[in-house]
A and B are shown apart, each in its own frame.
Chain A
Amino acid sequence: MTGALLEVSGVSVSFDGFRAINNLSFNIGPAELRAVIGPNGAGKTTFMDIVTGKTRPDEGRVLWGEKSISLLRMDEAAIARAGIGRKFQRPTVFEDQTVRDNLLMALKKDRGPLAVLFQRRNAADEARVEELAGQIGLVSELSRKSGELSHGQKQWLEIGMLLAQDPRLLLVDEPAAGMTPEEREHTTSLLVEAARTRAVVVVEHDMEFVRRLNCKVTVLHEGAVLAEGSLDHVTANQEVIEVYLGR
């Protein structure tokens, strides 16, 4: 498919005989918001692992960008530098470091060790960090250790770090888990805002949250795509209902 930012086709992977992903194909365009739903064990996290290079598939292709570069030969760091950002299910920020340091580390700059060794703080970076902190509502927390933040704040910090990387594709794993309704609201708007300029894939359990995202939905089941379309379309699908409600 032309114009796709990420093209996953025919990917399979198995762990000790268990097929976690089974001939999965998936495409997403350059500025698109997509929700991926599916029951436990459907392969949502493994799918993300494959795209971000954590897991190598047994077969299939994963192509990226206009030049259709294969991601399978790249390691995690190279994939991240190519423009794919990932937010984990549990908030993983560097708890021992301040919110500012966390954001500074994520800023899109040269990542090589020698370059980083001589990178010192400058006004432009500071301004960008302030701006990001404003977006995620953590301006007053910039100097605090991120380990002291509340759960929701950590989630936002992680989203902020993702945005700081300025990726072209954002993979977000259950961003709203454990959040209060107001925090969810905020998270929704952050994601919708982000999807104006880049592709965002949200993995989520919570149908209500998905509905609020108001986007195309892909349903995974047993490592393959079961249905795709608007939320109303897929929830009307008989197979999807069976999968969710049990046989």
Chain B
Amino acid sequence: MSFLRRNPSVPVFLGLLLVFTLTVTLMSEAYGGGLSTSFVKTLGKTLCLALVAVAMDLVWGYTGILSLGHFAFFGLGGYMIGMWLMYARTEAIVVSSMANAEIPATPQEITDAVGAQIFGVVGSSDFPAIWLFADSLAMQLVLVVAVPGLLALVFGWLAFRSRVTGVYLSILTQAMTLALSLYLFQNNSGLRGNNGLSGLQNLPGADAIPQSVMSVWFLWTSALALGLGYLLAAFVVSGKFGSVLRGIRDNEARVRFLGYPVERYKLFIFTLTAVMAGIAGALYYPQAGIINPAEIAPIASIYLAVWVAIGGRGRLYGAVIGAGFVSLVSTWFTGGRAPDIDLGFYTIKWVDWWTVLLGLSFVCVTIFAPKGIGGLVDLALSRRAPDRHGADLGPDLGSLREKEAEE
């Protein structure tokens, strides 16, 4: 495994992930520990967020595409699995309630009843065409990968071939995200408008399993997905492919003049990360229990960029650290657990002021610590090995110099 030897951060990360998951499992309510089920779920969700952050890091930190659309792919993955969860669960309820009827129900009656259950809130009872495969877990799992992947493929193809780059591309991805969330907000979008899909925490056919055990299952599945995703991402960025990606980030035109079809690389990485985000979303929303279009709004994707920036972009573990750190700290502050500060004339309630703190600290990180928290790892490593050949320029400084050279 020369790959692992050359990327020492990978085995370290996987080891830490395993230890973390085991520890949480042993401390969980299901195994007699003190961690509440909801906290285990929070940790499981954080792992999913870490996975989408790794995807974001691939596309932004390594390739330099500041996509403000990856949370849309995340949400789409959630919607795809949510359709099956909601359909199968409602069907189970309908069938059991109809079992007591005088005469057995026809398949049509069952479908109609399920439709009325699900779409009653938006004043409809017919299944839209996009629910065609909702009764099949296998098909919906395929869609978890296929829908975000295809959307990314089509959008990326349109955007990259017209050579839209930089902030233009960011705005365009933001527009895509906005379009998608506005579309989903409509009642006739076929996905229950702003009600979204709910009751996703109940796995159909698993009513006997308590949520405390379920949360541990999801924790492991999420950890597995994160581990595999990290491995894949590390593989992608380790070799020459990674070289090309970083080349595209630092000087796209030069890579093109070397003969690399830059657009196809971008499209590849954009689609791959969209698929990763979709998978992360499909694992996240069953733990969250509900998904609605507000989750997809552009601001969520920007927060994703914030996590990666705070964690340190251009390094995969930085993305994981950022997602974990920010989302857990944010849970702490917004959960009302942080103590209020009484200034005498005004009491700072963190529920209200946390966002302000986040925004400002984000500004500070961008200006003063562009390497993010991950930069601390560099400090530690260079202290242990002071004879490193020359200073690390870091991706952003490198690109800065490049830009200056251009102008």
Chain A interface residues toward B at CB < 8 A: 52, 54, 75-78, 80-81, 85-86, 88, 90, 92-97, 101, 104-106, 111-114, 116-117, 119-121, 143-145, 147-148, 161, 165
Contacts and interface: CB of A to CB of B under 8 A. Distances in A.
Contact of B243 (A80, A97, A147, A165): A97
A96 B264 contact: no
Interface stretch (B82-90, B184-192, B234-242): B234-242
Given A77-B262, A81-B259, A92-B405, A119 B240 contact: yes
B212 interface: no
Contacts, number: 99
A95 B250 contact: yes
B127 interface: no
A112 B243 contact: no
A90 B405 contact: yes
5 contacts: A76-B257, A96-B246, A105-B255, A112-B264, A117-B236
Interface stretch (B32-40, B52-60, B389-397): B389-397
A113 B244 CA distance: 9
A94 B246 contact: yes
B258 interface: yes
Given A105-B247, A113-B241, A116-B241, A96 B258 contact: no
Given A95-B250, A97-B247, A117-B236, A111 B261 contact: yes
B259 A77 contact: yes
A106 B258 contact: yes
Interface of B: 236, 239-241, 243-244, 246-247, 250-251, 253-262, 264-265, 268, 389-390, 392-395, 398-399, 401-402, 405
B251 A94 contact: yes
B200 to A, nearest CB: 35
Contacts of A111: 258-261
Contacts of B260: 77, 111, 116
Contacts of B244: 105, 116
Given A92-B405, A97-B243, A117-B241, 17 more contacts: A75-B261, A77-B257, A77-B259, A80-B257, A86-B257, A95-B250, A96-B395, A104-B240, A104-B243, A105-B247, A105-B255, A113-B264, A113-B268, A116-B244, A117-B236, A144-B389, A147-B401
A94 B389 contact: no
A52 B257 contact: yes
B239 A120 contact: yes
Contacts of A120: 239-240
Contacts of B402: 92, 95
A154 B235 CA distance: 29
B246 A165 contact: no
